[in-house]
Amino acid sequence: MPQEDDIRRAVQDAVRRYLNTPTPSARAMIDAETVNAVPEGGTLEVPPGALVTPLARQAALDRHVTLISTSEAKQTAPESRTIAIGADHGGYALKETLKAMLQTQYTVIDCGTSSSDSVDYPDFALAVAQMVSSGRAWRGIMIDGAGIGSCMVANKVPGVRAALCYDNATAVNSREHNDANVLTLGAGLIGSNLAKQIVETWLKTDFAGGRHAKRVEKIMAVERKYRE
């Protein structure tokens, strides 16, 4: 029969071989801390073979963070991404112009209005923001006369980071630094050509993460504080 020392050595050898065998978790592990570094309502790419801990999955669920594999992220075509767009009567014409442009590349949900008859911008800004907050839309775009009021409304909805942009620089900054998920535009302040450029830039600019992720998380922490 095997001696106790022989058994101990066999167990130690087996443990040593196990520890020295490459595993998915050795390559990458997604834990709750990693998820919590992502702005609420954002997306986290998971490398192939990475281990996602149960606490990380719960944190993602609690903070509405979408976990997506790197391969899926690369394969995600623009047309599979949904954009909610809305406007009041002052932004109706520009909404129709932008909608026609967007429909060639994305899935578009029109939240109204449907004519140039006078309406109240908060109703439509809320509809767009709710589409983004609920996850039914990837991004949201809202147009009124100045874009200011709609931005205020959208930012009242949990999980929404709305930004009023008036040129390409503000479009880039709002995405790179603030991970904005709703764009508001002032139809009375910019022309349709500039609006198209802003929208294209805003949709194609990625969030830079890094030091900006910590700051965006502080924005969301303020929201959570007053939501409790």
- Residue 48 and residue 98: Cα distance in Å, rounded? 37
What are the structure tokens assigned to 186, written together? 């002032």
Alpha-helix runs per DSSP H in the chain: 4-19, 24-27, 32-36, 54-62, 70-75, 92-102, 121-133, 148-154, 168-176, 192-204, 211-227
The conformation of residue 110, written as its DSSP 8-state character, comes to: E
**64 catalytic per annotation:** no
CB 132 within 8 A of CB 181: yes
- Among residues 64, 89, 177, 212, which one is catalytic? 177
Q: State the burial class of residue 33 (Cβ atoms within 10 Å of its Cβ: 0-12, 13-18, 19+).
A: exposed
Residue type, 166: Y
Among all residues, which ones are annotated catalytic? Answer: 177
